């Protein structure tokens, strides 16, 4: 055989074998669903499906489902898992125009959710409003899953049972919830439960409103037997006044382990966290099973107008850095800026500010705490009780204008350890625990957040009308304005970007013609 012909035959065989052994790459499919659709349709944009369950039965991992505008009285569950780099995507065609209303949809008993992700991986959901769960059901829940993303989502109005929540994550890892708001009825507005790990909550806003949970703790954010999680640029504010909150336990941010039969809560990090206008403590780290909770880190945290700024109770090795605890009120014996309770050990506070609190600025009641490079001013009972400042502390007026910024003219500017400010500066975005140069304000999607959180029918259904109407909802302010102006100073122009008024027309003009 001619060498040239033999070579051609050899190359042909190689090409054939390559087609056998090289995996084929298939394109992900795209489907559509609409309230006006039909399951007899092919699921195209012009001929969409009608139900999520049918759409998911046709989808494979990595496919995309687009949801048309409208109201859906259906549960969302059972979607196929994707794979690394090839997420299954469930997107609103237009963000905030898809309304998943669960009224009458879920059973009166059970342990599910209106948006229920169980045993799934690599799923991304974006742009939905999900609300009105029922007894014994959460609203948006992820369990036994990994690599799930929620973006631009509102979840509110859970069931009446004591374990129901607007958002719940349990036994799951590697999650991202970004630009999410959760409120209304529920035990915890956002509940990171047992074995939630490597979860990032980024720009999540909560408000606790309602729930018949006598003698049960409640919170805006709960980190419960969960570990190695990050909460960055989160807000909880305007909570309702629960009738037995003091004995039951009601917090803004609640880090808790309750018994040794479960994994401990540890290594959770909080960056740029805000607790505002609560009848309860802004932040609380506590356990009933010492030493089952430790190594939590808080930086750039702010508590304003709460019962107490920060609680450390039977907790170990927590660090509070560059935080501000402002105007705790309600009790001359309990409303401290920061309270370190019995059996708490190795707590470290630095570059932090306590100001205007009704009891003490820093109160240490039998625990171990070190305080340095911090400021205490105008606290009614005194700046320190049971502790003192080790080095670098101030007691002069910080001239605070805004809860979330230390002014360049303040003596607290650059006065902390290694030239850091004393007090919180929540100006830019945190991403994966790293402070970026990206502006945080104006707060993303704040108009949609207010539209949902201040909806009159929703407030009526949770009994927050009249005197109990959430404070923000009684104003015409954006969320950015509400937070920045909380201490009475108008929001800076570069933050709130106020529009200049139209100029007045000039007077006494004459038209000259030639």
| pLDDT digits 0-9 by tens, 76-99 | 999 999 999 999 999 999 999 999
Q: Is the pLDDT of residue 15 over 70?
A: no
- Report pLDDT for 21: 42
| Nearest partner of 324 among 360, 341, 299, 295, judged by Cα | 299
Confidence of residue 217 (pLDDT cuts 50, 70, 90): confident
Confidence of residue 468 (pLDDT cuts 50, 70, 90): very high
Q: Is the pLDDT of residue 513 over 50?
A: no
3-class SS at 451?
Answer: helix
Q: Is the pLDDT of residue 13 over 60?
A: no
DSSP per-residue codes, 2-16: -HHHHHHHHHHHHHH
Tokens 């506590």 -> residue = 286
Burial of 154 (0-12, 13-18, 19+ CB in 10 A): buried
- Report pLDDT for 113: 93
Structure tokens at 404: 């979330």
- Report pLDDT for 289: 52
Confidence of residue 107 (pLDDT cuts 50, 70, 90): low
Tokens 């409640």 -> residue = 218
Which is more confidently placed, 160 or 297? 297
pLDDT tens, position by position, 342-373:
777 788 999 999 999 999 999 998 778 999 99
Q: Stretch 5-29: mean pLDDT, rounded?
A: 52
Q: Which helix (H) or strand (E) holds 500?
A: none
- Report pLDDT for 109: 62
3-class SS at 453?
Answer: helix
Share of the chain above pLDDT 90, in %: 73
Q: Is the pLDDT of residue 290 over 90?
A: no
Structure tokens at 318: 């927590």
Burial of 381 (0-12, 13-18, 19+ CB in 10 A): middle
Residue 83, preceding bond cis, omega within 30 degrees?
Answer: no
Which is more confidently placed, 250 or 14? 250
Phi-psi region of 174 (alpha: psi -120 to 50; beta: other; left: phi over 0): left
For 346-444, where are the E strands, in sequence order?
347-350, 353-355, 360-364, 369-372, 375-377, 382-385, 428-431, 434-439
Distance CA(155)–CA(157), nearest Å, equals 7
Q: Stretch 232-241: mean pLDDT, rounded?
A: 96
Check: CB of residue 450 under 8 Å from CB of residue 479. yes
- Report pLDDT for 57: 98
Lowest mean pLDDT among 188-192, 210-214, 266-270, 390-394: 210-214
Residue range 30-450, CATH number? 2.160.20.10
Q: Is the pLDDT of residue 11 over 70?
A: no
Tokens 């108009």 -> residue = 447
**SS3 annotation, 290-333:** CCCEECCEEECCEEECCCEEEEEECCECCEEECCEEECCCCCCC
Distance CA(493)–CA(408), nearest Å, equals 16
3-class SS at 169?
Answer: strand
CB atoms within 10 A of CB 19: 9
Structure tokens at 192: 């990171």
pLDDT tens, position by position, 428-449:
999 999 999 999 999 999 999 9
Which is more confidently placed, 10 or 428? 428
Distance CA(323)–CA(313), nearest Å, equals 18
pLDDT tens, position by position, 392-421:
999 999 999 999 999 999 999 999 999 999
pLDDT tens, position by position, 37-79:
999 999 999 999 999 999 999 999 999 999 999 999 999 999 9
Confidence of residue 163 (pLDDT cuts 50, 70, 90): confident
- Report pLDDT for 8: 53
The Cα-based distances of 275 to 52, 477, 499 in angstroms read: 37, 18, 28
- Report pLDDT for 259: 58
Q: Stretch 465-482: mean pLDDT, rounded?
A: 97
CB atoms within 10 A of CB 511: 4
pLDDT tens, position by position, 322-332:
999 999 998 99
Check: CB of residue 110 under 8 Å from CB of residue 136. yes
What is the domain partition of the chain in residue ranges?
A: 30-450
3-class SS at 109?
Answer: coil
Q: Is the pLDDT of residue 510 over 60?
A: no
Q: Is the pLDDT of residue 500 over 50?
A: no
Average pLDDT, the chain: 89
Which residues in 185-218 are b (16+ Cβ under 10 Å) and which e? bbbbbbbbbebbbbbbbbbbbbbbbbbebeeebb
- Report pLDDT for 110: 67
Distance CA(376)–CA(385), nearest Å, equals 12
The Cα-based distances of 441 to 27, 285, 435 in angstroms read: 39, 28, 14
Contacts of residue 460, defined as CB under 8 A and 6 or more positions apart, other chains included, come to none
CA angle 171, 462, 239 (to 5 degrees): 70
Distance CA(384)–CA(407), nearest Å, equals 25
């Amino acid at each position: 055989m001619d060498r040239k012909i033999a070579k051609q035959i050899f190359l042909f065989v190689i090409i054939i074998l390559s087609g056998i052994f090289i995996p084929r790459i298939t394109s992900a499919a795209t489907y559509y669903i609409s309230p006006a659709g039909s399951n007899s349709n092919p699921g195209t944009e012009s001929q969409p499906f009608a139900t999520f369950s049918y759409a998911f039965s046709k989808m494979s991992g990595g496919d995309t489902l687009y949801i048309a505008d409208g109201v859906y009285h259906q549960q969302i569950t059972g979607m196929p898992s994707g794979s690394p780099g090839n997420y299954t995507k469930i997107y609103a065609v237009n963000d905030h125009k898809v309304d998943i209303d669960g009224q009458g949809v879920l059973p009166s008993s059970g342990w599910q959710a209106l948006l229920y992700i169980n045993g799934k991986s690599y799923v991304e959901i974006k742009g939905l409003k999900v609300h009105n769960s029922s007894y014994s059901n959460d609203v948006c829940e992820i369990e036994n899953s990994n690599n799930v993303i929620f973006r631009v989502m509102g979840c509110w109005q859970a069931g009446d049972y004591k374990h129901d929540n607007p958002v719940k994550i349990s036994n799951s890892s590697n999650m991202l919830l970004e630009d999410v708001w959760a409120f209304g009825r529920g035990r915890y507005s956002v509940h990171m439960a047992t074995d939630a790990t490597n979860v990032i909550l980024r720009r999540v806003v909560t408000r606790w409103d309602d729930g018949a949970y006598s003698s049960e703790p409640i919170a805006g954010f709960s980190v419960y037997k969960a570990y190695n999680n990050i909460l960055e640029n989160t807000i909880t504010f305007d909570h309702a006044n629960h009738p037995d909150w003091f004995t039951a336990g009601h917090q803004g941010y609640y880090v808790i382990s309750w018994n040794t039969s479960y994994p401990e809560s540890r290594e959770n990090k909080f960056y740029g966290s805000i607790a505002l206008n609560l009848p309860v403590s802004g932040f609380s780290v506590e356990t009933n099973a010492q030493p089952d909770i430790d190594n939590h880190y808080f930086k750039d945290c702010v508590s304003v107008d709460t019962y107490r700024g920060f609680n450390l109770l039977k907790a170990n090795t927590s660090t509070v850095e560059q935080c501000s605890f402002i105007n705790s009120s309600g009790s001359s014996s309990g409303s401290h800026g920061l309270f370190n309770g019995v059996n708490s050990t190795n707590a470290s506070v630095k570059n932090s500010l306590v100001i205007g609190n009704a009891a003490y600025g820093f109160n240490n009641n039998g625990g171990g705490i070190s305080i340095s490079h911090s400021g205490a001013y105008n606290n009614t009972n005194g700046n320190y009780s049971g502790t003192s400042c080790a080095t670098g502390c101030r007691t002069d007026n910080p001239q605070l204008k805004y809860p979330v910024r230390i002014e360049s003219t303040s003596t607290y500017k650059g006065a902390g350890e290694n030239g850091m400010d004393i007090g919180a500066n929540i100006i830019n975005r945190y991403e994966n625990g790293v402070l970026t140069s990206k502006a945080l304000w104006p707060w993303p999607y704040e108009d949609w957040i207010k539209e949902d959180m201040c909806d009159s029918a929703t407030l009526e259904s949770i009994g927050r009308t009249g005197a109990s109407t959430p404070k923000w909802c009684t104003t015409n302010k954006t969320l950015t304005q509400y937070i920045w102006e909380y201490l009475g100073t108008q929001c800076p122009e570069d933050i709130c970007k106020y529009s200049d008024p139209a100029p007045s027309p000039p007077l006494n003009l004459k038209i000259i013609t030639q």
